[in-house]
């Protein structure tokens, strides 16, 4: 199932509106007490995250009144909300500011992520950049596209396959257990360039646009990955968990590799020792 195009456009516009109203006015302008830590000192939430999620949740209820809304900040307050995702006929998954650490520290590498699932399958994904007001969108079976106001959408294709030693990719080593990090560094130096943007939104945009060869994750938060996996695979990429399972937004545990091909995925798993 795909969404009607007018629904997709309405979802894009609600994200743009929330960014204009709640995110950009607060960027590099957060007051005292506007930044708080959640699970750790690098897992942050700001007043902008909360306000943007509330704005978008209200708008979603008008566009898709039957949908279950799963927002990152709402789940942080009530983890039981995630239990609704697998059984929902329609769900809208929101990350109001992906890359909050960057946002809170004045770095412009952050985004808004929205995904729509139908009975557990992602059918629409949006990776939006509030700073530049452009986005990558993908619909199931409809390809992945780069779009911006007043320009024609550009269909996206992942990079051509290349050897791992020539690959560029993203891996958040700091999210892995300390005991595993020395092994990860061996894989990082074996490739051409491996780093982390601390922002899944932009990492997946880079992947779908052909500027990166893989994204390796440590966790499976649906708000971080559902839209990006759809964009990457609709652009010709491949996604699979380290244990061989297919990715689904209803999964909550596992390590996900998204790559330009199945063979690149296998090289990533081998280089970082993730199959053991």
Closest of 85, 170, 154, 73 to residue 113, by C-alpha: 73
Residue 7 near residue 63 (C-beta atoms within 8 A): yes
Q: 97 a known binding residue?
A: yes
Q: 42 a known binding residue?
A: no
Q: How far apart are CA 171 and CA 72, in angstroms?
A: 21
200 is written with which tokens? Answer: 């899944």
3-class DSSP state for residue 40? strand
Checking DSSP bridges between strand 168-170 and strand 193-195, what pairing results, if any? parallel
Residue carrying the six token digits 């769900």? 91
3-class DSSP state for residue 37? strand
Cα 101–Cα 71–Cα 16 angle in degrees, nearest 5? 75
Q: 243 a known binding residue?
A: no
260 is written with which tokens? Answer: 């330009």
Q: 98 a known binding residue?
A: yes
Evaluated on CA atoms 205, 117, 100, 215, the torsion sign reads negative
Closest of 209, 222, 231 to residue 256, by C-alpha: 222
Q: 134 a known binding residue?
A: no
Query: CA 137 from chain center: how many Å?
Result: 12
Q: What is the DSSP string of 42-108?
A: TEEEEHHHHHHHHHHHHHHHHH-TTPEEEEHHHHHH-GGGGGGTTT-SEEEEEEEEETHHHHHTT-S
Residue numbering of the annotated binding site for Mg(2+): 72, 95, 97-98, 224
């Amino acid at each position: 199932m795909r969404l009607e195009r007018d629904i997709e456009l309405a979802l894009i516009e609600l994200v743009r509106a929330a960014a204009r109203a709640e995110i950009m006015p607060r960027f590099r302008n957060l007051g005292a007490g506007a930044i708080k830590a959640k699970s750790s000192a690098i897992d942050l939430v700001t007043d902008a995250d909360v306000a943007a999620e509330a704005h978008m949740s209200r708008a979603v209820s008008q566009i898709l009144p039957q949908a279950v809304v799963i927002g990152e900040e709402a789940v942080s307050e009530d983890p039981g909300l995630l239990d609704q995702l697998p059984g929902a006929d329609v769900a809208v998954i929101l990350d109001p500011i992906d890359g909050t650490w960057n946002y809170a520290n004045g770095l412009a590498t952050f985004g808004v992520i929205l995904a729509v699932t139908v009975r557990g399958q992602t059918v629409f994904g949006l990776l939006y950049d509030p700073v530049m007001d452009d986005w990558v969108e993908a619909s199931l079976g409809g390809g992945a596209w780069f779009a911006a106001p007043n320009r024609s959408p550009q269909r996206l294709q992942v990079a051509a396959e290349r050897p791992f030693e020539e690959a560029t990719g993203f891996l958040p080593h700091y999210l892995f257990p300390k005991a595993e990090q020395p092994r990860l560094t061996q894989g990082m130096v074996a490739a051409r360039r491996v780093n982390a943007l601390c922002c899944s939104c932009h990492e997946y945009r880079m992947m779908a646009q052909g500027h990166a060869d893989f994204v390796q994750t440590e966790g499976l938060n649906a708000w971080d990955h559902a839209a990006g996996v759809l964009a990457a695979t609709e652009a010709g990429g491949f996604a699979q968990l380290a244990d061989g399972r297919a990715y689904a937004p209803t999964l909550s545990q596992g390590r996900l590799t998204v790559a330009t091909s199945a063979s690149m995925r296998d090289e990533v798993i081998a280089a970082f020792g993730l199959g053991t």
